[in-house]
Structure 1
Amino acid sequence: MTIADGGAAIAVIVSGLLIPQCLGDTRLTHWACTDAPLAPAWRGSAYAAHLVLRIQVAIIYLDTAYSKARNPAWRHGQVLRIIMQDPQFGAPDPIRIAVSRLLNHDWLGSVLTWSVLIIEVGIGSSMFCVAIYRRYATVIAVAFHLFIMILMGLFGFALIMMAVVALASLNTSPRKAVTSADRDQSLRSVIRLRLRLRGLLQSADRSHGTGSSRTADVDA
């Protein structure tokens, strides 16, 4: 039996937001390097769609955290103990007894319950930050939803949310994209710089060797 967990609805929305980000891309696969930047119109629409995706992810996590915080069971740190014993969403039979024993400790149940709220607020808030913080949020989201996958059996939902946060964490800019030609130019510049440094070092070694030989002749 398939459990309705909301992941399918989120996947539909995100798939729609990916369309304007992909239509202007002329590559056969996303593994290939870009030969030319997107046209300005496509670049702007792709950036706008990605920005909407980030806002959508922020709404999902922040609204979820707010809804949970309004529930007294979440505020009192008791809800995880209730969920883990639920026959539909609870922990799998092999680990249910161990999980229940851990959550019977009031302090541990409260810490884990509030940790869920803090993680969700952190992931949602990171969508308004620069790319580096969104990447940290991706790592946290993967670990967070991995535990959900194991403890609650929501495999589809967990995988979808991991992918959605990863997509929202990509570094995007409305400015000109870096192409393979730009990368080749940068590589050639690095190679020329290394050759110049190597020539300078060789010249310094020859000068040092000449000076040493002259000193030896004088001493002789």
Structure 2
Amino acid sequence: MSIRDGESTKKFGGLMRVARYLVERRLLDIGQYTAQSTRNPNIFLTIARSMIAIAQISLLALASADQYFVPVGQNSADAKCSGDVSGFSLFCTIDIDRQVTAYGILVLLVVIASGFKPRLLSWVHLYVSFSISTAIALPDGGDQAVMCIAFWLAFASLNDPRTWGWDKRAVPNTKSTVQSYFDSISVAAIFALRLQMAYIYLNSAIAKFPVDAWQDGTAMYYVARMENFGSVTVLGDFLRSLTSVPILTASVTWGTMLCEIALALGLIIGGRFLYVSVLISITLHLAIAVFLGLVSFAVIMVGGVLAAGSLQLQRLRSDILIYKTLTRHPAQQGDLLFRNAGE
């Protein structure tokens, strides 16, 4: 056997280890995966949490508190503190100027976006999101979605003892009973978030069915010409020109509904369809941000979908890193990495 044949055999053996490793990972049940999740931190949860916090920061930093507390109907411009639940908002429990309260919340969101102490600050994020959503007079869909997302993220972060969420180093697996419970709760919360996000998109699509403008395919014509929001640059002119053509208007209108349904089904079915859902979410909300100007809403929703698919995305990332490592050094590191994966 020549030296070249020997090298080819080693490389082939390394690739076989890659294939075997990937198959074994797909056969791991939830219990085995949760044991791995402590040692391999989920970076996508950190990315999603930071994206959502940054979107909330933009809302508070680019507008004064007076712009969120305005008279609506017969209601005053004060924070909504009369309800059984809304009275627990930071804007209601702290008796100081609401702009000062907004600055305090802004500081908290900056710390949350930094990725510091995810296990603890995820609960702070939930309370902050609750305070914003329930107290201000002009909430949007993004504020309501953040409350749902932050709720599940708080439970999903229970098994993350790291100081910094961006730390990619493996966390020692203590294998304690409490940690096992936290691992199980974390996985269950992420799966619940998948269903939550699927419901949001499916509900949005179904709610459009009875509306005449969505049925006849003209809805995007009117959306592109709304005075309250939208792009005022050349992109806005492009969208208005695009929606002036009936067949293109109908395609965009019905295509939006199909994207929402496909996104929801991908989250429910999982597997490879979940990756499709992530791509649809990024594409759909990028278009919403660019053409309609709803940037913070788009960032929040993409962050929610990333968090919902974080288990599979993290596994895909890990598989890619393992594949690269084993194909570069198949003979030296293949057996070691496979043994580590089976622990």
Structure-1-length-normalised TM-score: 0.74
Is contact 1:81-1:104 (8 Å) kept?
yes
Match of 1:153 in 2: 293
Match of 1:191 among 326, 332, 338: 332
Q: 2:205 matched to 1:65?
A: yes
CA distance in 1, matches of 2:292, 2:209: 20
**What is the root-mean-square deviation of aligned Cα atoms in Å?**
2.6
CA drift of 1:161 comes to: 0.4
Match of 1:123 in 2: 263
CA drift of 1:146 comes to: 0.6
CA distance in 1, matches of 2:229, 2:254: 19
Count of residues paired in the alignment = 183
Q: 2:168 matched to 1:28?
A: no
Q: 2:311 matched to 1:171?
A: yes
CA distance in 2, matches of 1:88, 1:21: 37
| Partner-residue secondary structure (3-state), 1:11 | helix
Are residues 5 and 101 of structure 1, via their aligned partners in 2, closer, same or farther at CA, if it must alter by over 3 Å?
same
Match of 2:232 in 1: 92
Are residues 191 and 112 of structure 1, via their aligned partners in 2, closer, same or farther at CA, if it must alter by over 3 Å?
same
Q: What does the per-residue CA deviation read over 1:48-88, in whole Å, with 9 as the maximum and x for residues that have no partner?
A: 11111011101100000001122110111111010111111
Q: Which has the larger radius of gyration?
A: 1
Match of 2:72 in 1: none
CA distance in 1, matches of 2:202, 2:333: 50
Match of 2:147 among 12, 16, 20: 12
CA distance in 1, matches of 2:273, 2:174: 26
Range with bigger deviation, 58-67 or 29-38: 29-38
Are residues 153 and 24 of structure 1, via their aligned partners in 2, closer, same or farther at CA, if it must alter by over 3 Å?
same
CA drift of 1:40 comes to: 2.1
Instruction: Report the residue type matching 1:140 in the other structure.
Output: I
Match of 1:52 in 2: 192
CA distance in 2, matches of 1:168, 1:191: 36
Structure 1 residue runs of 4+, over 4 Å off? 186-190
**Gapped runs of 5+ residues in structure 2?**
1-66, 69-137, 313-317, 336-343
CA drift of 1:93 comes to: 4.1
Are residues 48 and 42 of structure 1, via their aligned partners in 2, closer, same or farther at CA, if it must alter by over 3 Å?
same
Are residues 99 and 20 of structure 1, via their aligned partners in 2, closer, same or farther at CA, if it must alter by over 3 Å?
closer
Is contact 2:214-2:253 (8 Å) kept?
yes
| Partner-residue secondary structure (3-state), 1:127 | helix
CA distance in 2, matches of 1:130, 1:59: 14
Are residues 190 and 69 of structure 1, via their aligned partners in 2, closer, same or farther at CA, if it must alter by over 3 Å?
farther
**Gapped runs of 5+ residues in structure 1?**
173-177, 195-220
CA distance in 2, matches of 1:140, 1:66: 18
CA distance in 1, matches of 2:298, 2:333: 48
What percent identity do the matched residue pairs reach?
22
CA drift of 1:37 comes to: 6.5
CA drift of 1:35 comes to: 2.1
Q: What does the per-residue CA deviation read over 1:103-133, in whole Å, with 9 as the maximum and x for residues that have no partner?
A: 1111111111111001000111111123432
